[in-house]
Structure 1
Amino acid sequence: MKNLKNQLYIGGEWRDASDGGTFDVLNPADETVLSTVASGTVEDAMACLDAAEAAFKPWAAKSPRERGEILRRAFELFTDKLDEIARLITLENGKAGSDAMGEAKYAAEFFRWYAEEAVRSEGYLGMAPSSGARLMVHQKPAGIGVLVTPWNYPAAMGTRKIGPALAAGCPVVLKPASETPLTMLALMPILEEAGVPPGVVNILPSRSSGAVVGAMLADPRVRVVSFTGSTEVGRKLLHAAADNVVKPAMELGGNAPFIVCKDADIEAAADGLMVAKMRNLGEACTAANRIYVHRDVEAPFVEAFTAKMAALKIGNGLDESVDVGALVNAETRDKVDFFVRDAVDKGATLRLGGTRPNGPGYFYPPTVLTGVPDDAACLRDEIFGPVAALQTFEDEDEVIARANHTEYGLVAYLYTADMARGMGLAERLEFGMVGLNRGLVSDPAAPFGGVKQSGLGREGGKEGMLEFQETQYISTEW
């Protein structure tokens, strides 16, 4: 594909890596090379911090309205290019065009939301009860943020971090996933046109992720690290951040339960599972991973859900008729295939799919497994693919205990016709988010994040901007 941005973006300039290093970005649908991209070094990382440091005070000094207007303009320009951005997402990530367009629209919304939140950084004035001193509390920009984004949402995971950082007055260095750097690079001309000054946003693609991110976290100029990815990598970044007490925002792994109660609307629950499981081909930390269906409604639910899965068309995501595109790489496809074979070997019943297609591309068909045993590997780890693993339950206390029996706590889904039951069960679920009769929880206006090993902090909502701010209190008398 021609005219793709493939250099580092530092201080408003495009440049090659300091050592001339590059890496290839592949099209997951046919395994061809889309582009050869500059691979940043530690020296380049320091150049990014230099640029961000120079931009920090002028950007922070802008009024909240000025920053908000620039973000609003970024939303408008991004929206004008939705088709182009969605196509690029499909090319480097593999997802179907409908999924890519959904992500592009979602990504744009973070600019609109934080254009509005930029002017609502609230403080308060009070009187200390014991001393009578006046207390003035307000929020200040925390400083330079290092943003590390994953490959599954190459646009939205970037804008979900850039938006609140810029609204708060912080410059950033973003290290995109090596599988999908092109979308973030394509965003930079949009931000330039919107009025973002040089150095406020810097993009550092690199195959040496550990070295460049580690070097930046060791630099005292960095005050925030925002990471979306696996819990394993998140733990390492937390260790690195601890040495300089860098403020962490971690959106880590998930193992989402999806509970279908006896009284649930079967058709609505099946539709909800299609969203919770198949959005983004299941390559999402929010994807339904452990599906618990009440034994009394198992047969009709499995029939309804399997029919919907069977109707999906698999193929190159650039084809508008395709519902299921390619997984991002061979490793992800092979891991999904392992999970299916492991479950079947241990006694699960294969209702649909389960056979890896021949030919180029990292494809895997929509797959339904029932009677999945408790020792199946897919119940302990994120499947990250179009595979639904179903079990049954009879007692609500039992299913809540099973749902909570995981180190993760990002999101859970629950379907019931009784709202009182639903609210009661939702409060017992040890997860940062619950979809109650909804298969989708992500929203720019909501605080996205988990508990336990699923992360620290929140993205989106009012809380998202607080991750890039520090609270200052001034004590005085008059």
Structure 2
Amino acid sequence: MGKVLRRLLIDGQLVDPGRHYPSINPATGSVIEEAPDATVEHAESAIRAARHAFDDTDWSTNVAKRVQCLRQLHEALQRHREELGQLTIAECGHTPMLVAGPALDDPISVLGYYAELAEKFAFTEDLGEHESRGAMHRRSVEREPAGVVSAIVAYNYPMQLALAKLAPALAAGCTVVLKGAPQTPLLAVALGELIAAETDMPAGVVNVITSSEVAVGEVLTTHPDVDMITFTGSTPVGRQIMAAASPTVKRVFLELGGKSALILLDDADIEMPALIAAMSICSHAGQGCAITSRLLVPRSRHDEIVERVKAHLSNVKVGNPTEPGNYMGPLISQAQREKVDGMVQRAIEAGAQLAMGGHSIDGPGFFYAPTLLTNVDPDSEVAQDELFGPVLAVIAFDDDDDAVRIANNSIFGLSGGVYGADTDRAMAVARRIRTGTVGVNGGVWFAPDAPFGGYKQSGIGREMGAAGLAEFLETKTIAVPVG
């Protein structure tokens, strides 16, 4: 792949938009490279190309071609894994450990999963014969692609979010306009380059754009030739997208915010969950929608658990992810660091106790100290609003019912966790938590075949797994008389 080509992918061609904007390394504050800055006209061109590819080629019906292209892209990403890994570290602030997992290697595997699923998926289902009005009718159900898809991703795990949308959309037979996050545009550009150079993807099937203009995103969510929107980002923006899509009644998939709770039951051995709570909130500096940012503990064990979590947090090495041994990297920007600090200071003013952290780290880059807030009011801002930083809020509960009530006291419902010595009891609590995913006693749910998404204002629909493919399919029932 070599040096990233600073061009958009539109209708099978790499296009220089004639203007660019800087992509910033969050660990140093320096410019990595200039990224292509698409205009509204480029977005409209990409939509036209996707519309033509869907309506006027056999992409939507040629399953073998789709499987071939998915496998080609899978192989291309594997070949260029080292270069993509370096770019992921530089642009996102991910550590090598995250690159070896959810930041890059896991997303690459998603392509292989959907290629295999598309190959064996029953796009036609025979319902058999049915008698109606004195005659027999043979019926079938056809599952057809939804059409042209606008795929809009967030900055925190851009390759995972892009491929978790792109792979099932292509497997279903849709065509796509993928918009990279403004803060991490170079990874999207690199993906577009590989599609153009190393796959047989027909022109217009995948279009990749990056832009600093809000108006570009508005076109992708309102254009009449777009049939479906798949978006990952904040809940406030998700609400705006739902409103923008409503005049044309577009299908909408939303993977939005979270304020997930990790519950330690009173019989739990606290050492492992205390470690998990500390390491999870520091993973990618807390910039993950499914991170458990609320730690719910028995009131009688509050201080004991806080001390163990504090000990583990104090061992977290923070710094440039290129330096060996650093577990936590930077926040994505100075604006995000200011947002995090503002919420922490307001939490302290509202009565939360600062056990450690609560400040920016001096030096280059956008680093923030791992922060532990205790005796947090479950109704306070820091317990209710998504923060997207390395800040863990400890909340005390009285019994299992109280823990479930507090966990569900949120507009969000994305993820969560439960620890307890009695697995049956922990499972019973987990089933009462209204979230899309729950880990019990350290159980890991994240995998290409496992549906991911949220309840309530954490989103609509599911990504990954067979459920992720279904999001991009329409259902058509056909009947024909027998004889």
Work out whether the TM-score is over 0.5: yes
Please state how far the C-alpha of 1:469 moved relative to its aligned partner.
1.1
* Structure 1 residues 396 and 48, CA gap change in structure 2 (3 angstroms): same
Question: Which stretch shows the higher mean deviation, 302-311 or 244-253?
Answer: 302-311
The SS at the match of 2:195 is helix
Kept after mapping to 2: 8 A contact 1:59/1:200: no
Offset, 1:272: 2.9
Match of 2:285 in 1: 281
Output the CA distance in 1 between the equivalents of 2:431 and 2:471.
25
Q: Structure 1: which 4+ aligned runs deviate by more than 6 Å?
A: none
**What is the SS of the residue equivalent to 2:100?**
helix
1:54 aligns with one of 52, 57, 72: 52
Q: What is aligned with 2:16?
A: 16
Equivalent of residue 220 in structure 2, options 182, 200, 216: 216
Aligned-pair RMSD on alpha carbons?
A: 1.9
Shift of 1:301: 2.7
Shift in alpha-carbon separation, 1:59–1:388, aligned structure 2, 3 A: farther
Give the structure 2 partner of residue 270 of structure 1: 274
CA distance in 2, matches of 1:62, 1:453: 35
Equivalent-residue separation in structure 2 for 1:213 and 1:246 (angstroms)? 15
Q: What is the 5 A alignment of 1:247-326? A: 247-326=251-330
Q: Measure, in 1, the Cα distance between the counterparts of 2:195 and 2:89.
A: 21
Question: Partners of 2:307 and 2:445 in 1: how far apart?
Answer: 25
The AA in structure 2 aligned to 1:278 is C
* Contact in 2 for aligned 1:82/1:101 (Cα 8 Å): no
The separation in 2 between residues aligned to 1:59 and 1:176, in whole angstroms, is 27
Decide whether aligned partners of structure 1 residues 238 and 61 sit closer, same or farther in structure 2, where only a CA change above 3 A counts. closer
Cα distance change on mapping 1:293 and 1:128 into 2, 3 Å = farther
8 A contact 1:160–1:459 mirrored in 2: yes
Deviation at 1:431, TM superposition (A): 1.3
For the 8 Å contact 1:276–1:440, the answer to whether it is kept is no
Give the corresponding residue for 2:26: 28
| Correspondent of 2:209 among 201, 204, 223 | 204
**Structure 1 residues 347-401: Cα deviation after superposition (integer angstroms, max 9, x where no partner):** 3332222221222210011122222234542111112111111121121111111
Distance 1:135 1:232 in 2: 43
Matched, 1:146 2:147: no
Alignment of 1:161-240 (within 5 A): 161-192=165-196, 193-209=198-214, 211-240=215-244
Residue pair 1:6, 1:38 contacting (<8 A) in 2 also: yes
TM-score between the two structures when normalised by the length of structure 1: 0.94
- Cα distance in 2, alignment partners of residues 220 and 109 from structure 1: 33
Partner deviation per Cα, 1:126-163 (whole Å, 9 max, x = no partner): 24655242220021111110000000011110011000
* Distance in 2 (alpha carbons) for counterparts of 1:384 and 1:152: 9
Q: Do 1:217 and 1:244's aligned partners in 2 also have CA atoms closer than 8 Å?
A: no
Aligned match of 2:126:
125
Whole-Å separation in 2 of the counterparts to 1:374 and 1:189: 47
In structure 2, the residue corresponding to 1:358 is in which secondary structure? coil
Instruction: Note the C-alpha offset of 1:427.
Output: 1.9
Q: Is the 8 A contact 2:430 2:438 kept in 1?
A: yes
Asked if the contact 2:359–2:368 (Cα under 8 Å) also holds between the matched residues in 1, the reply is yes
Partner of 2:247: 243
TM-score (norm 2): 0.93
Matching residue of 1:37: 35
Structure-2 change in CA distance of 1:412 and 1:404 (3 Å): same
- Render the CA deviation track for 1:417-438: whole Å, top value 9, x for unaligned: 2222122212211112212222
2:8, 2:36 within 8 Å by CA — same for their partners in 1? yes
Q: 1:356 aligns with which of 348, 352, 360?
A: 360
Distance in structure 2 (CA, Å) of the matches to 1:213 and 1:362: 26
Higher deviation after alignment, 298-307 or 238-247: 298-307
What corresponds to 2:160 in structure 1?
Answer: 156
Amino acid at match of 1:11: D
**Equivalent in the alignment of 2:67:** 68
Residues 128 and 306 of structure 1: CA distance in aligned 2, closer, same or farther (over 3 Å): farther
CA, structure 1 residues 307+15, in 2 after alignment: closer, same or farther (shift >3 Å)?
same
Give secondary structure in 2 for the equivalent of 1:158: helix
**Do structure 1's residue 370 and structure 2's residue 374 form an aligned pair?**
yes
Q: Which residue identity lines up with residue 95 of structure 2 in the other structure?
A: A
Amino acid in structure 2 at the alignment position of 1:373: D
Query: Which has the higher mean CA deviation after the structures are superposed, 165-174 or 268-277?
Result: 268-277
Amino acid at match of 1:39: D
**Paired position in structure 2 for 1:106:** 106
- The Cα of 1:62 is off from its aligned counterpart by 5.5
| AA aligned opposite 1:202 | N
Q: In structure 2, what is the equivalent of residue 6 of structure 1?
A: 6
> Structure 1 stretch 36-45 or stretch 54-63: which is displaced more?
54-63
- In the TM superposition, what is the alpha-carbon distance from 1:61 to its structure 2 partner? 4.8
In 1, Cα distance between equivalents of 2:220 and 2:359? 44
Question: Contact between 1:86 and 1:104, CA under 8 Å: does it hold in 2?
Answer: yes
Q: Following the alignment from structure 2 to structure 1, what is the Cα–Cα distance between the partners of residues 449 and 155?
A: 23
Distance 1:471 1:219 in 2: 23
* Percent of residue pairs identical: 36
Distance 1:264 1:196 in 2: 52
Deviation string, structure 1 residues 64-89 (Cα, Å, up to 9, x no partner): 23322321232232123222212211
Letter in 2 for 1:324: M
Aligned to 2:388: 384
Comparing 283-292 with 94-103, greater Cα deviation is found at 94-103
1:412 aligns with 2:413: no
Q: Measure how far apart 1:220 and its partner are.
A: 2.7
After superposition, give the CA deviation of every residue in 1:30-70 in whole Å (9 maximum; x if it has no partner).
21111222221121111101221232243525632332232
Q: How much does 1:414 deviate?
A: 1.1
SS in 1 for 2:68: helix
- 1:93–1:61 CA distance, 2 compared to 1 (3 A): closer
How far residue 472 of structure 1 moved from its aligned partner, in angstroms, is 1.1
Residue 458 of structure 1: how far off its partner (Å) = 0.7
Preserved CA contact (<8 Å) 1:404 1:429: yes
Cα distance change, pair 201–376 in 1 and its aligned pair in 2 (3 A): same
For structure 2, the 5+ residue unaligned runs are none
**Whole-angstrom CA distance in 1 between matches of 2:154 and 2:411:** 21
Distance 2:156 2:427 in 1: 31
Partner of 1:97: 96
* Cα distance change on mapping 1:397 and 1:33 into 2, 3 Å: same
Which residue does the alignment assign to 1:82? 81
Question: Gaps (5+ residues) in structure 1?
Answer: none
Distance 1:232 1:187, change over 3 A: same
Count of aligned positions: 474
